[in-house]
Amino acid sequence: MAKYIFITGGVVSSLGKGITAAAIGSLLTSRGLRIRIMKLDPYLNVDPGTMSPYQHGEVYVTDDGAETDLDLGHYERFTGAPTSKKSNVTAGRIYWDVLEKERRGDYLGGTVQMIPHISNEIKSRIRALDDKDVDIILCEIGGTVGDIEGSIFLEAIREIGLEEGRDNVAYIHLTYVPFIAAAGEVKTKPSQQSVAKLREIGIMADVLICRAEVPLSMEVRKKLSLFCNVPLSSVIEETDVKHSIYEVPLVLSDQGLDELLLVHFRIARPQADLTPWRKVINAIRNPKSSVTIGVVGKYQELQDAYKSIFEALDHGCIAHSAKLNLVKIASEDLERGDTSSIENVDGILVPGGFGGRGIEGKILAIQHAREKGIPFFGICMGLQCAVIEYARNVCCLQEANSTEIEQKAADPIVCLMEEQKDVTEMGATMRLGAWDCKLTPGTKVAKAYGKSEISERHRHRYEFNNAYRDVVTEHGLTIAGTTPDGGLVEIVEIAEHPWFVAVQFHPEFKSQPFNPHPLFAGFIGAAVNREKERSG
């Protein structure tokens, strides 16, 4: 039977519960424990798939095709533990499923109530991760204590503590301890009130993790311990790290958090081997070179919209002991004629997206990279823009476009899957989750992967139009990867270019700090070479 760790947040949102949960998971896996980790989101959307990146950040995709919260990306990057459709549940999904059961008569005409019906549904989703190969289930509760929509989730985890026994359940509360600059003091009252709210529900925090702008004195820690009813050793300080979020596991380990949890659960395990994390931090702190990468997108106002992309670029830089200088380029600025942002970069990346806004700016950036020999990496929409650019400017198909952008395009080089005669059975549904890909021998991507077949995650509706395969290959574009049956193009590249690779999938979802994705490592390697040539 698995043990349970529940991670709640208080005072304010955006404290970093996802990173903290992921870091805790990494410490437990480093001690040989088998974990599963999940996120419960109290909002009423059924899933994040249709939510705006401006409000929700990126949509993270699992192997089994779930569109999930971006925190699952942190979980996988930090722990290597797989996530799935079971790993992210929203209040909307819970209510939807309970009401469907009521309509079917599953409740035999009984009155459907928040307790026990909604709380039982939540508990069943948490327990669905339990099996014989799992030692600990970590569950992050979105939002903050006191949010009206989150109260039923807190009730559900309180009930699990009662049913499983307190030796099998640990409650971790992440709170904010503000520093009031005018007074020159750290204030504990918000944390006290947040923990008091938990106690009203019936949850006693076992560990208090304190996000703070300044280190906490022993006096402050003792005060938090006393008024929050938490042992002094269980008051954990989590100030902002200096170099990277990948320092967080080391910060928590230095304060003995993993040991606290093992003692609570009465589990004996050897000391954590944090050597991989120390190597990562050493590479970040002591770079041997620097590289400037321009990311051309349309959601640049929000850091989280391309969260996994930025993290994977960092991982590629770690592989080459290089410092990343990230330049966020709004594709619409390029459309207005301001190309100064792409003149002095060592590499250009065009990420995924939906819709026509900013497309011409992305195409302009790709043309610049192709003609100037600047390493280029296109992802999902980035591949579609790359083949449009190539068709227009190399194959002389001036009207080439995607039917997503121009439904009646004269040369629809990118189109819906159902518009391709040889794959009509797939319909126009989105291609989601893991798909196998066969690599073309001798290509850059085959050398980068070091294998002939791979599996990568997808999230898109539009594909390269097979009717144009011959014309683009005759003009020098290499089809570097396809689905195993050859039916769909997955990767294109230009052989004589330093690095011109575009993929239909999302490799950023499978990159880790100590195991960088080979395509990101290859892209950064090419960009480092260009930087060295330029600096000379």
The single-letter code of the amino acid at 113 is Q
Is-contact 142 39, C-beta < 8 A?
Answer: yes
Mean pLDDT score, 207-223:
96
Is-contact 344 468, C-beta < 8 A?
Answer: no
pLDDT score for 424: 36
Is the bond into 116 cis (omega within 30 degrees of 0)?
yes
Helix axes 119-127, 91-104, angle to 10 degrees: 110
Catalytic residues: 380, 506, 508
pLDDT score for 421: 46
Q: Does the pLDDT of residue 56 top 80, yes or no? A: no
* pLDDT tens digits along 323-377: 999 999 999 889 888 788 898 999 999 998 888 788 999 999 999 999 999 999 9
The CA distances from residue 230 to 3, 155, 166, 248, 382, in Å, are: 20, 21, 15, 22, 50
Q: Does the pLDDT of residue 287 top 90, yes or no? A: yes
Output phi, psi for 301, to 5 deg: -70, -20
- pLDDT band at residue 396 under the 50/70/90 scheme: very high
CA 426, CA 441: separation in Å to the nearest integer?
28
Six-digit token string for 261: 């949890």
Mean pLDDT score, 92-102:
96
Structural domains in the chain? 3-279 (3.40.50.300), 287-535 (3.40.50.880)
- pLDDT band at residue 423 under the 50/70/90 scheme: very low
CA 165, CA 482: separation in Å to the nearest integer?
52
Q: Which residue has the tokens 């249709």?
A: 50
**HSE-up of 158 (CA within 13 Å, CB side)?**
17
- Alpha carbon 14 to chain centroid, angstroms: 15
* pLDDT tens digits along 188-212: 999 999 999 999 999 999 999 999 9
Among the listed residues 7, 284, 294, 2, the one whose alpha carbon sits nearest the alpha carbon of residue 140:
7
The single-letter code of the amino acid at 299 is Y
Three-state SS across 291-355?
EEEEEEECCCCCHHHHHHHHHHHHHHHHHCCEEEEEEEEEHHHHHCCCCHHHCCCCEEEECCCCC
Among the listed residues 83, 55, 54, the one whose alpha carbon sits nearest the alpha carbon of residue 71:
83
To the nearest 5 percent, what fractions of the chain are helix, strand and coil?
A: 45, 25, 35
Pairing status of strand 60-61 against strand 462-464: unpaired
* pLDDT tens digits along 453-495: 999 999 999 999 999 999 999 999 999 999 999 999 999 999 9
Non-local (6+) Cβ contacts of 237 within 8 A are: 210, 212, 215, 216, 221, 255
Among the listed residues 72, 64, 43, the one whose alpha carbon sits nearest the alpha carbon of residue 308:
72
User: What is the DSSP secondary-structure string of 220-271?
Assistant: HHHHHHHHHT--GGGEEEEEPPSS-GGGHHHHHHHTTHHHHHHHHHT---PP
The CA distances from residue 503 to 65, 203, 268, 363, in Å, are: 18, 47, 45, 15
Mean pLDDT score, 368-396:
97
Mean pLDDT over the full length of the chain: 93
- pLDDT band at residue 261 under the 50/70/90 scheme: very high
